[in-house]
Amino acid sequence: MNNPEQHPATGAPPEGTPTPLKAIIEQARSARQHHTDDLFRRLGRGERLTAGQIYDTLHAHTVCTWWLLVARHIEYADSGGLRPSQAVARFISWIAPYATDPIPPEPAMLATAPRADVERAPALDHLERSLALIRQDAARTFLSQAKTLAVVCSAEQSPGASTGQETTA
């Protein structure tokens, strides 16, 4: 429990998790930490944040959260009896729709907005659109990583040892 990265609430991969999955989770965790540290360092110095820095941080957080949820799902779903490939396959089916979600239309400038909402309302509209685009990109990243994981795991399996269920992702 001394290492916060291994705390159960973070979704640390349980024992027996394939090495490629552990590597993807660690890569996602590292990217999230890097972008978060960079953002807070810049804020601490009073620097303005760029849209790119915010985008990268939110993207990294989204991808990392999904992979950590996969790890938690492996550990806790079906009383810990869920195979990693089955957990990944479940998340692929849950996350795939995000990759093709319709993006809200470009916000129109509302000339009739109340005085208090002249800046806030359009900013929130743009932010909603931006978050949808980040979520869509994060879904494509997750799905690409999951596809790579399935290829690597199937290549690592010996042909005689397979039961046909290991690589459903």
The tens-digit pLDDT sequence of the chain (169 residues) is: 344 444 444 456 666 667 889 999 999 999 999 999 999 999 999 999 999 999 999 999 999 999 999 998 888 877 767 788 888 999 999 999 999 988 877 766 555 556 667 788 888 888 999 999 999 999 999 999 999 887 776 665 545 444 444 444 4
CB atoms within 10 A of CB 34: 13
Buried b (16+ CB within 10 A) or exposed e, 94-103: ebeebbeeee
Q: How many CB atoms lie within 10 A of CB 158?
A: 6
Q: How many CB atoms lie within 10 A of CB 62?
A: 22
Quote the pLDDT of residue 95.
97
pLDDT for 14: 61
User: Please, is 66 exposed, middle or buried when counting C-beta atoms within 10 Å of its C-beta (0-12, 13-18, 19+)?
Assistant: buried
CA distances, 18 to each of 41, 92, 152, 153 (Å): 34, 17, 10, 8
Instruction: Check residue 122 and give its pLDDT.
Output: 83
Q: Provide the pLDDT for residue 167.
A: 42
Report the C-alpha gap between 119 and 17 in whole angstroms: 49
How much is the pLDDT for 168? 43
CA atoms of 70 and 19, how far apart (whole Å): 14
Per-residue model confidence (pLDDT) at position 51: 95
pLDDT tens digits, 26-58: 999 999 999 999 999 999 999 999 999 999 999
Are 145 and 24 spatial neighbours (Cβ–Cβ below 8 Å)?
A: yes
